[in-house]
Structure 1
Amino acid sequence: MSPPHSQLSEAYIQDSFHSYLKSSLTQAKAERLLDADILSSAQSDLMITGPALCLYFAALRCTTNPPSVPLPRHKKNSQPMELSYENCPPAFVSFLRVWSNTVPAIQALAPELQHDLARMICNLEPLVTPLQPALNGIAADLRAVAIEISQRRSFQDRYASDLQAALDSGTTPASPGSKRAAFVPPPVYDASPVSSAASSPHSSPRSSLDGHSAQGSPQYANHNLPPQSPSFLSPGSAASVSSGFPPRSPSPQILAPNSPAIEFIRETLYASLADALDRQPSLRALLKSDPPRAYFASVAFAVLDVATSAMTPDGAVIGVLGAHLTLAQCPPELRPFMAELAAIGRAAHELAEADDEVAMRAAQRGEEIPLTRMDRVRTMLEEGVGCGADRRAREEGRRSVEGRAVSFTNRINALSLGMTRLKAFRERQGDVFKVLAGIGA
């Protein structure tokens, strides 16, 4: 056994995680939380459900305080080992921190509520009524960590075999109707020379940017969209690289009024990246130290920007040409994206109004104005769910038991992931990488 404080390798933790992931998916199948049709599908939310279930079952197995993860023995004669803060690789510390904060709450639940939590992770309705509000916050935290795990290339490359192991459990290869996992890893993030020099394979949990969608988005990332025309914005010119991105109202030659709806939405979002970088100056520094995270965070901020400033009350998008794209004008496969974008905008305004009320009450009492939920959302979008977990734990009395900030962050990230894995977005992604690399250089 390794000395208690020697750091474990990332490869060792990855092997252990996937060992547990296979058993977690198999157990979920046995308990009918997931069926063979779901396990064999390419549903984007399955990328989140699997890791979240693994974290849930690990919390049930935990027997230490502070919480640590018992690791599987790779050899029969190996000494037992646990993952703790003392031996955790730096890349996984934020995951461990968030998970450990959920362990006491999960273990304190009655068995029927623990089962309901597992059902919620799997997008099933809870059985106990009325719904226990605390379950929402726990599920949000587990799924938030799962979102980040799902973006790791090492996870994506092995997930199909994890799913297949669960599908094969209780069957034989010759069984009638045996199913095969349909999941295929997304394309590898290929940074430009500028950004790749600043990045390493382990610089971020987000080593692939085309990770699959997450909480609240199982439907809208699974459609086969029609071929899109190759009309792109052109960020490769000297002017566009120096300034970052085209302004919100580019010339009609850049995006024709009759461009397909997917291009209209795509260019509206990508044009908002400039606003994201202006409003979050720290993203520019992140472009140098961690380009993959900076890109994904920028897209998430662009989603939030468009949802809050470019949506009309009836759910239309005011695009880069000042034209409106209505829900009725969208092809059916894009309408869930549009509807979710509008819903995010409404939820953001509700959170902002609630933050204003809290601030006014604090000011009237002469108290310090607390950190707003929207501030927490922005921090988590940029730094990941593990940021400030210790502070959130200390401020538990001020934190919503429903985990609204975490849930809302998950929702934005889910839409960002769902959109960026579409063909039309991936086609433009290379150009956007070049622009971001020029800004961060």
Structure 2
Amino acid sequence: MPTHGHNVFELSEQQVQDSFHAYLQSSLAQVKAEKLIDAEMLGSAEGDLMITGPALCLYFAALRSVTYPPSVPLPRTSKSLPPIDLSPTNCPPAFIPFLRVWSNNVPAIQSLSPEHQHDLARIICGLESLSFPIPDNITRIAAELRAVSIEISQRRTFQERFGQDLQAAIDHDTTDGESASPGIGRRITASFVPPPSYETATTPSPSPQPSPRVSSYAFPEPEIPNLSGPSLTVPQSSSSSHSPSRTPSPSPPSPTVLPPDAPAIQIIRETLYACMAEVLSPTPSLQSLISSNPPRGYFATVSLAILCASTSSISPDGAVIGVTGQTLKLSECPREVRPLMSEFVGIGALAREIEEEDNEAAMELAQRDREIPEPRLQQVRRILENGLGAELESVRGGERSPSPEGRAVVFANRINALAMKMMSLPAFKERQRDIFKVLKGILGH
């Protein structure tokens, strides 16, 4: 197949970032036009838009790719400049893991029928497929694109510009008045605010970092299949929290002592914070990650703490056992906290289910003198810490076997999505900088 704008030089990270955000704005605007999201949702950045948006951008890029190996034509800042592709030969080292996972999925995406490409896009958006059955690899592809999106969303440069991307999509083609609230005429403004800058967590009064200016590009509008369809409803969160739990293990002392009447979200928050120290202290690689890449390291620690707490701090009847002994039942949670609580308990139930399945399979293999594969939860922990790119490299290197249909990736994404939702809550944001100081203190930095 032809190469589009062959390049032998390495692109800068800034060039790739600018191009990605230009395409992200286009993708969000297109999805808004297809009625999968509306201006109000873009303005509030509700749900898991930080995951869905970049994942759709990667999906659209896969449909556009016409080279082998797959590459992405970058937006042209001037018609007089030659076309440039982002390819394995010129990709900055920081983005090679992302590009590798994406390029490995491009042939599979392009080989899908239009109907199944439609289903893939819906699954990326958290919607159910319209056709049945679907190919087994669609779930895995969607999970891997969302996993790359999660890693991209933890980059500080992305966080600082995401609000501008949302606003550009809100303002795109507003002649139909969709960017204004019905009956009010109010212009919708993107309310997304980046999380605290952990690099400055140890300074007394950190100064806010200015967001980079988003350049205007004359980029082509991608050809995107119609994603809209009948009964386009977002599935509601559900909990399968009836599985028995192991006896909770002791946790390190929490940075604060909660009063008996502490709000539900504080009990969940402090339980997670205690588990953060528990997962951090025996993991040198995680300690190094926090030192070298604070935002990514902090996020990985929160996600690993969710997995730890959901399996060790849940009672048999599905209540959270707080760090000071309080128990919190779902029925005691305020309505706005219940979805998080249900997902937290549900993650623990699924972790135990996966562990039981692996134990049963290991016993059967041992009886037949067959090699016992690595437990899937161990793979999940590595994905949470290192990202999908590093994990797939070890799989391709023959060190491990991938889980069927990408189940480990799907589960890791579920944990990461909950971490992102929790970290965006005011009750978590107000304590994140203090907790990061505590973690840095534990590491002796």
> Where on the TM-score scale, by shorter chain, does this alignment land: which range?
0.7 to 0.9
1:195 and 1:298, CA in 2 relative to 1: closer, same or farther beyond 3 A? farther
Deviations 1:96-118 (A, max 9, x none): 11111211211111110001111
- 2:299 aligned residue: 296
**Which whole-Å CA distance do the structure 1 matches of 2:200 and 2:191 have between them?**
27
Measure, in 2, the Cα distance between the counterparts of 1:171 and 1:318: 49
| Larger mean Cα displacement after TM superposition, 78-87 or 285-294 | 285-294
String of CA shifts for 1:2-40, please: whole Å, max 9, x gaps: 983322111111111112112222322333333344334
Measured after TM superposition, the shift of residue 74 of structure 1 is 1.5
3-state DSSP of counterpart to 1:387: helix
Tell me the residue number matched to 1:191.
Answer: 199
Residues in 1 aligned to 2:424 and 2:281: alpha-carbon distance in whole angstroms: 25
Change (3 A) 1:384 1:339: same
Find the counterpart in structure 2 of residue 143 from structure 1: 146
| More displaced stretch, 84-93 vs 136-145 | 84-93
Correspondence list, 1:278-293, <5 A? 278-293=281-296
Letter in 2 for 1:334: V
What runs of 5+ residues in structure 1 fail to find an aligned partner?
Answer: 202-216, 221-246
Cα distance in 1 for residues equivalent to 2:432 and 2:6:
45
Does the residue aligned with 1:375 lie in a helix, a strand or coil? helix
- The alignment's TM-score, normalised by the length of structure 2, stands at 0.80
Q: CA deviation at 1:91?
A: 1.7
Secondary structure of residue in 2 paired with 1:386:
helix
1:180–1:253 distance in 2 versus 1, CA, 3 Å:
closer
Question: Matches of 2:167 and 2:381 in 1, distance apart?
Answer: 37
Query: Match for residue 225 of structure 2?
Result: none
The CA deviation string for residues 176-201 of structure 1, in whole angstroms up to 9 with x for no partner, is: 757524332224314357699xxxx9
Match of 1:105 among 108, 119, 138: 108
Partner of residue 23, structure 1: 26
Aligned counterpart, 1:166: 169
Shift of 1:434: 1.5
In the TM superposition, residue 143 of structure 1 has moved relative to its aligned partner by 0.9
Residue 152, structure 1, aligned to residue 155, structure 2: yes
Q: Distance in 2 between matches of 1:31 and 1:302?
A: 37
Q: 1:334 aligns with which of 337, 340, 343?
A: 337
User: Is residue 248–residue 321 contact of structure 1 (8 Å, CA) maintained in 2?
Assistant: no
Q: How much does 1:283 deviate? A: 1.8
> How many angstroms apart in 2 are the aligned matches of 1:77 and 1:155?
28
Match of 2:430 among 427, 430, 433: 427
Q: How far 1:307 sits from its partner (Å)?
A: 0.3
Residue matched to 1:413: 416
2:389 to 365, 377, 386: 386
Moved more, 335-344 or 279-288: 279-288
CA distance in 1, matches of 2:273, 2:120: 37
How far residue 400 of structure 1 moved from its aligned partner, in angstroms, is 3.6
Structure 2 Cα separation of the partners of residues 118 and 331 of structure 1: 33
Question: What's 2:55 paired with?
Answer: 52
Cα distance change of structure 1 residues 28 and 151 upon mapping to structure 2, 3 Å threshold: same
Aligned to 1:226: none
Q: CA deviation at 1:356?
A: 2.1
Conserved? CA contact 2:277–2:439, under 8 Å: no
Q: Is residue 2:120 matched to residue 1:117?
A: yes
Looking at structure 2, the residues matched to 113 and 397 of structure 1 have their Cα atoms a distance apart, in angstroms, of 29
**Secondary structure in 1 matching 2:85:** strand
* Residues 136 and 73 (structure 1), Cα distance of their counterparts in 2 relative to 1, 3 Å cut: same
CA distance, structure 2, for counterparts of residue 417 and residue 127 of structure 1: 28
Q: In the alignment, what sits opposite 2:244?
A: none
Query: 2:441, 2:192 → 1: CA distance?
Result: 31
Q: CA RMSD in A?
A: 3.0
How far the C-alpha of 1:432 sits from its partner, in A, is: 1.6
Does the residue aligned with 1:262 lie in a helix, a strand or coil?
A: helix
Please tell me the residue identity of whatever aligns with 2:273. Answer: Y
Structure 2 letter corresponding to 1:186: P
Aligned to 2:371: 368
CA contact (8 A) 1:134 1:401 kept: no
Deviates more, 1:248-257 or 1:277-286: 248-257
The reply on whether 1:254 has 2:257 as its aligned counterpart is yes
Change (3 A) 1:159 1:311: same
Shift of 1:218: 9.9
Q: Which residue is equivalent to 2:96? A: 93
Shift of 1:168: 3.4
* 2:429 maps to 1:437: no
Q: Distance in 2 between matches of 1:159 and 1:251?
A: 33
String of CA shifts for 1:155-213, please: whole Å, max 9, x gaps.
233333333333334333978757524332224314357699xxxx9xxxxxxxxxxxx
Q: Residues of 1 paired with 2:276 and 2:16: CA distance? A: 35
- Find the aligned partners of 2:256 and 2:364 in 1 and give their Cα distance: 51
Q: 1:259 to 1:61 in 2, by over 3 A?
A: same
Cα 1:161–1:421 change in 2 (3 A) is closer
Q: State the partner residue of 1:308.
A: 311
Q: Write the mapping of 1:338-353 to structure 2, written as runs, cut at 5 A.
A: 338-353=341-356
When residues 251 and 63 of structure 1 are mapped into structure 2, their CA distance, relative to the original with a 3 A threshold, is closer
Structure 2 portions without partners, runs of 5+: 210-233, 238-249
Give the aligned partner of residue 236 of structure 1: none
Structure 1 pair 79–14 and aligned structure 2 pair: CA distance change class (3 A):
same
Contact 1:249–1:321 (CA under 8 A) maintained in structure 2: no
Identical aligned pairs, as a percentage? 55
- Separation of aligned partners in 2, 1:38 and 1:167: 9
